[in-house]
């Protein structure tokens, strides 16, 4: 055999070896993709099909209290209603004592055996040095659930460019969505840990994804997501008996987001039931974040993998619609 012939033979063998290696690699990749898809489907089925009535059992021991911030309206009030219906006594936080007393009276009438407490604190006006004292007033109670719900954009029109924010608007959005949450949670941790197993639900937003004309709000909700994930892991590592969940959501029809109610945009009361019904399965499946309303989960699942130019086109329309709605509902003039 000439030198040339043996080289041809060897390269043929090498090609065969390479092809069979490639096949093997593709088979492994296929098996890995199939296994991870099956795992995702089973985990989603477990999350969304688990009986919601069992959801809170892990945190319902002793005579449990749930503390909800921003509890007088919207999503906070919806979650209060769902927790009270499951037998939790309630600590209502808000900024307006009269409105808090009205809400307390409604709860007391609907659930006569329920105990209620009130915390008055304006997250934009009151000094944060007073939070420790505020929390010490309820430290003797068996609080096993904390819902950090207070948040949003505390000015109108809400959807403005970064340049249109003045410094007080920037500070207010950060205080309302991130700074108060961090300080308040810090003081609540020893109480929740002592009463464990306990649960913290931090109400985030799909805006953490990066919503144009809501830059500071998006960043603050990104903080809520990272803060929740980090605290969840900190508790797991230190074996602190506190479960932590970021609650992700799209539009819910409330005073602040007066979007028409439809399948994708539920009423706050219905959303409250979704939250309370899903958190147990979320923690059982070791998640640190959950999107409790199924249409929101589908919407985000479709949006996130899209190419950037498609996202930009979609978000441009979405923001224009939201700005038009704000102008209509709050009687604002075109800027
Ligand atoms: N609605 C949505 O589509 C949507 C979407 C994504 C995320 N979120 C998040 O969900 C949470 C609740 O939003 P929401 O739409 O339910 O809002 P909402 O209807 O405006 O209710 C906000 C609650 O916070 C209280 N609050 C407002 N400013 C306060 C202050 N300075 N100090 C203390 N309490 C104050 C309000 O009290 P008053 O009753 O006195 O006003 C009310 O109880 C927020 O974290 C928001 O970012 C909402």
Round to whole Å and give the CA distance between 308 and 313.
9
What is the mean pLDDT of the segment spanning 152-163? Answer: 94
Q: What is the DSSP string of 57-104?
A: GGG--SS-EEEESS-SSHHHHHHHHHHHHTT-EEEEEES-HHHHHHHH
Using pLDDT thresholds of 50, 70 and 90, give the confidence band for residue 179: very high
Residue 9 within a domain: no
- Ligand 1 centre to CA of 150 (Å) is 5
Q: Which atom of ligand 1 is nearest to the CA of 96?
A: 40
With the most atoms of ligand 1 within 8 angstroms of its CB, the residue from 152, 203, 246 to mutate is 152
Q: What single DSSP character describes residue 217? A: H
Q: Would residue 38 count as lying in a domain?
A: no
- Are the C-beta atoms of 246 and 225 separated by less than 8 Å? yes
Q: Is residue 17 part of a domain?
A: no
- Going by CA atoms, what residue is nearest to atom 7 of ligand 1? 205
Asked whether the beta carbons of 325 and 265 are under 8 A apart, the reply is no
Structure tokens belonging to residue 242: 């506190």
What residue owns the CA closest to ligand 1's atom 14? 74
What is the structure's pLDDT at 20?
85
Q: How many residues does the chain have?
A: 335
Neighbours of 224 (CB within 10 A): 25
What integer pLDDT is reported at residue 220 of this predicted model? 98
Q: Which atom of ligand 1 is nearest to the CA of 72?
A: 43
Which region, left, alpha or beta, applies to residue 198 given φ > 0 means left and ψ of -120 to 50 means alpha?
beta
Show the tokens assigned to 151: 């948040």
Q: Report residue 312 as tokens.
A: 């930009």
What is the spatial distance between Cα 41 and Cα 335, in angstroms, rounded to a whole number? 46
In a domain, 137, yes or no: yes
pLDDT tops 70 at residue 10: no
Give dist(CA 35, CA 18) in Å, integer: 26
pLDDT of residue 335 exceeding 90, the answer is no
Q: What's the gap in Å between 261 CA and the centre of ligand 1?
A: 17
Average pLDDT over residues 194-210: 97
Residue 12 confidence (pLDDT) above 80: no
Measured from CB, residues less than 6 Å from any atom of ligand 1 are 70-76, 94-96, 99, 122-124, 149-152, 154, 203, 205, 249, 251-252, 254-257, 268
Q: Judge whether residue 241 has pLDDT over 70.
A: yes
Query: So what's the pLDDT on residue 41?
Result: 83
Beta-bridged to residue 117, according to DSSP, are 91
The radius of gyration of the chain from alpha carbons, rounded to an integer in Å, stands at 25
Judge whether 19 lies within some domain. no
Indicate if the pLDDT at residue 223 is higher than 80.
yes
What is the tally of helices (H) and strands (E) in the chain?
10, 7
Structure tokens at 82: 């769902």
pLDDT of residue 203: 98
pLDDT at 3 over 90: no
Task: Work out which ligand 1 atom sits closest to the CA atom of 256.
Answer: 20
Q: What is the CA(139)–ligand 1 centre distance, in A?
A: 25
What is residue 92's predicted lDDT score, i.e. its pLDDT?
Answer: 98
What SS3 class is residue 299? Answer: helix
284 domain residue, yes or no: yes
Looking at residue 9, its pLDDT comes to 60
What separation in Å is there between the alpha carbon of 74 and the centre of ligand 1? Answer: 6
pTM comes to 0.91
Strands 143-148 and 289-290: unpaired
Q: Is residue 280 part of a domain?
A: yes
Residues in a beta bridge with 68: 92, 147
Contact 112/149 with Cβ under 8 angstroms? no
C-alpha 2 to ligand 1 mean position (Å): 84
Query: Which residue among 75, 171, 253 has the greatest number of ligand 1 atoms within 8 angstroms of its CB, and so is best to mutate?
Result: 75
Residue of 89, 277, 269, 278 lying closest to 195 (CA atoms)? 89
The CA-CA-CA angle for residues 84, 201, 255, to 5°, reads 70
- Domain count for the chain, please give it: 1
Q: How remote is the CA of residue 73 from the centroid of ligand 1, in Å?
A: 7
Q: What is the CATH number of the domain that holds 164?
A: 3.40.50.720
Question: How far, in Å, is the centroid of ligand 1 from the Cα of 216?
Answer: 16
In a domain, 188, yes or no: yes
Kindly state the tokens that stand for 133.
Answer: 């004292």
Best residue among 68, 69, 74 to mutate for probing ligand 1, ranked by most atoms within 8 Å of CB? 74
Average pLDDT over residues 229-252: 98
Task: Convert the pLDDT of each residue in 16-70 to its tens digit.
Answer: 677 788 898 999 999 999 888 888 888 888 889 888 877 899 999 999 999 999 9
Strands 242-247 and 289-290: parallel
pLDDT at 98 > cutoff 90: yes
Residues 6 or more apart whose CB falls under 8 angstroms from that of 319 comprise 159, 211, 212, 213, 214
Q: For residue 42, what pLDDT is reported?
A: 83
Give per-residue pLDDT as tens, 101-144. 999 999 999 999 999 999 999 999 999 999 999 999 999 999 99
Q: What mean pLDDT is predicted for residues 267-291?
A: 96
Give the tokens for residue 314.
């979609």
Domain range spanning residue 235? 50-329
């Amino acid at each position: 055999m000439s030198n040339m012939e043996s080289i041809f033979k060897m390269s043929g063998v090498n090609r065969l070896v390479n092809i069979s290696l490639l096949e093997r690699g593709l088979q492994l990749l296929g098996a890995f993709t199939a296994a991870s898809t099956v795992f995702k489907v089973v985990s989603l089925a477990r999350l969304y099909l688990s009986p919601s009535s069992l959801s809170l059992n892990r945190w319902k021991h002793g005579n449990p209290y749930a503390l909800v911030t921003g509890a007088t309206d919207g999503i906070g009030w919806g979650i209060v209603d769902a927790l009270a219906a499951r037998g939790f006594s309630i600590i209502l936080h808000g900024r307006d004592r009269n409105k808090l007393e009205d809400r307390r009276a409604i709860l007391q009438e609907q659930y006569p055996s329920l105990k209620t407490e009130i915390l008055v604190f304006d997250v934009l006006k009151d000094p944060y040095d007073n939070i420790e004292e505020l929390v010490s007033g309820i430290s003797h109670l068996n609080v096993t659930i904390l819902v950090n719900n207070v948040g949003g954009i505390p000015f109108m029109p809400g959807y403005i460019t970064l340049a249109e924010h003045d410094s007080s608007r920037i500070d207010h959005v950060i205080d309302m969505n991130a700074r108060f949450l961090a300080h308040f949670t810090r003081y609540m941790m020893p109480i929740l840990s002592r009463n464990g197993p306990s649960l913290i639900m931090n109400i985030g937003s799909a805006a953490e994804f990066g919503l144009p004309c809501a830059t500071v709000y998006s960043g603050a909700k990104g903080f809520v997501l990272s803060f929740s994930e980090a605290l969840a892991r900190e508790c797991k590592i230190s074996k602190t008996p506190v479960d932590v969940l970021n609650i992700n959501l799209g539009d819910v029809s409330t005073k602040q987001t007066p979007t028409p109610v439809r399948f994708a945009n539920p009423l706050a009361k219905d959303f409250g039931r979704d939250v309370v019904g899903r958190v147990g399965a979320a923690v059982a499946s070791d998640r640190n974040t959950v999107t409790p309303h199924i249409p929101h989960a589908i919407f985000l699942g479709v949006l996130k993998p899209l190419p950037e130019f498609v996202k930009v086109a979609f978000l441009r329309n979405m923001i224009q619609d939201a700005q038009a709605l704000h102008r209509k509902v709050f009687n604002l003039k075109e800027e």
